[in-house]
Structures are given as C-alpha cells and as structure tokens.
Amino acid sequence: METQPLKGKIAFITGSASGIGQGIALRFAKEGAHIACCDLNLEGAEKTAQEIKSLGQQALAIQLDVVKSKNVESAVRQVHDHFGKIDILVNSAGIIKANFITDVPESIWDAIIDVDLKGTFLCIKEVAKYMVEQKSGKIINISSKSGKKGGLWLAAYSSAKFGVVGLTQSVATDLAPFHINVNAICPGNVFSTPMWDLLDKEYSVKLGVPPEQVRKIYVEKVPLGRGCTVEDITNLAVFLASTQSDYMTGQAINLTGGQEVH
C-alpha cells in the first residue's frame, strides 16, 4: 500500500474517545486523513483530537449521541461545513452487556439496539446524503464475531451486530450506483479495550470462573492463539478506507484469528 493512502481524506469516526474508534482515528491520521472525532464522551474526543493535531493533521471534536437523529444530523452538517466534504464514515460507537436471556432488562435491550444498530443507521443516513452528492465515499461499520454467530448471554448485542451486517449489505446495494463502498469489520475479542474491563466480571459469572481466567478461556478458542488487537482492526480499516478496496462492497469481514470463517 502506498505511503499515506488516506492523504487529504476527511473521516467522520464515532466512538473515537477510546478503544477501537480511537485507534482507527489515530491510525487514519497517521495515514494522512483529517478526523472528526465524535463521541458522547466529549472530553475523551477532545483528547483524541489533540493527539491527532500533534501528528500534524486537522481534527475536530464533537459531542455526539448517535441515538438522537437531530444530534447526528447537526454533527454531520458541522463536519461537512468545517471540512467541505466527508470521504469516510466509521461507525464504531457501541455498548455491550451480558445477561442470561430471562434476566435481560428491557432497558438494556433497548439501549444496545439503539446505540449499536440504530446509531449506525442514523450516521449512515446523514453522511450518505453528502456522499451521494459527491458520488464517492467509504463507509466502515464495526460489527463483531457475535454478528456472525450468536454469543452466550449476548442476545441484545448479537441481535444488534447481526443487524449491522444486514444493514451493511442493504446499504451497499443502495449506494453502489454512487461509487460508495460499504463494508463491515467483525472483530474477535479485543482485550485491550475498556469494554473488556467490564466483560471480565460479567463473563466470569456466565462461565463460572474467576475474572482473571476469562481471557485465557476465550484465547483458547482462537486457532491463531491470541486475541484481536486494535492494530489488527486498523490495518483492515485503512484498506477499506483506501482506493485499494474500490471493488469491495457489502462485505462483513471476519477478523477473528480463524474463530469464525463464514
């Protein structure tokens, strides 16, 4: 891949205050992109934006609640007005909670479906309006291996992430005539993210083991013998955001070390 394959591109990235979204934002900046750092956690988004500026790229921090359509519409307009275009959308905002099916509170179900699925839809809907006008764009949705195979105690999360895969396929068909590529990344377990600090405790209950043993059990399920890293995800995201993926659309790509292969 060429040096700085994203040079001069404008990327709108949700969930960019931490974890996968932050990792993609920083990597895209290193590859030459200017970044709109969008997150409900404004302080975290501002820290990411400052780090991007230290890399010599432009950055804009925006507080964004992806489940509120007016907030999404306003944020997308603000980014477009500021930079003049939006070339890349990365939907990384997401939440997770593990409960046995009879113990899933309706409020938790609603929150996960809202953030992980509806939020992805709303951001695509608004950004696509500008991408259709410019007849170009790259949309990358973060799904999960749980979007390919339902996970134990993950009814809401798996449903949302399966939904992201279906949304990706449908929207790819809608937007193909406008030269807009829409793909999803389905990562395995990314232990370095803040999400796993919570999951260690929740998964210890569902597996019946101490929290410190949880990650070992999950790694043992992976043929390549390790967890997924943020760098693994950013490597793929750069490809999907670059011209090298111009003939790929509607795909939900497993990044699971061989754990999921369909």
Active site residues: 157
Q: Residue 68 and residue 76: Cα distance in Å, rounded?
A: 12
DSSP states along 10-58:
EEEEETTTSHHHHHHHHHHHHTT-EEEEEES-HHHHHHHHHHHHHTT--
SS3 call for 6: coil
Query: What strands lie across the sheet with 88-91, from one edge to the other?
Result: 59-63, 34-39, 10-14, 88-91, 137-142, 180-187, 252-255
Q: Residue 230 and residue 147: Cα distance in Å, rounded?
A: 18
**Backbone phi and psi for residue 34, each to the nearest 5 degrees, phi listed first:** -100, 145
Q: Residue 148 and residue 251: Cα distance in Å, rounded?
A: 12
* DSSP assignment letter at 226: S
Find out whether 109 and 99 touch, Cβ atoms under 8 Å.
no
Q: Which residues lie across from 248 on neighbouring strands? A: none
Which residues, other chains included, contact 74 with Cβ-Cβ below 8 Å and sequence gap of 6+? none
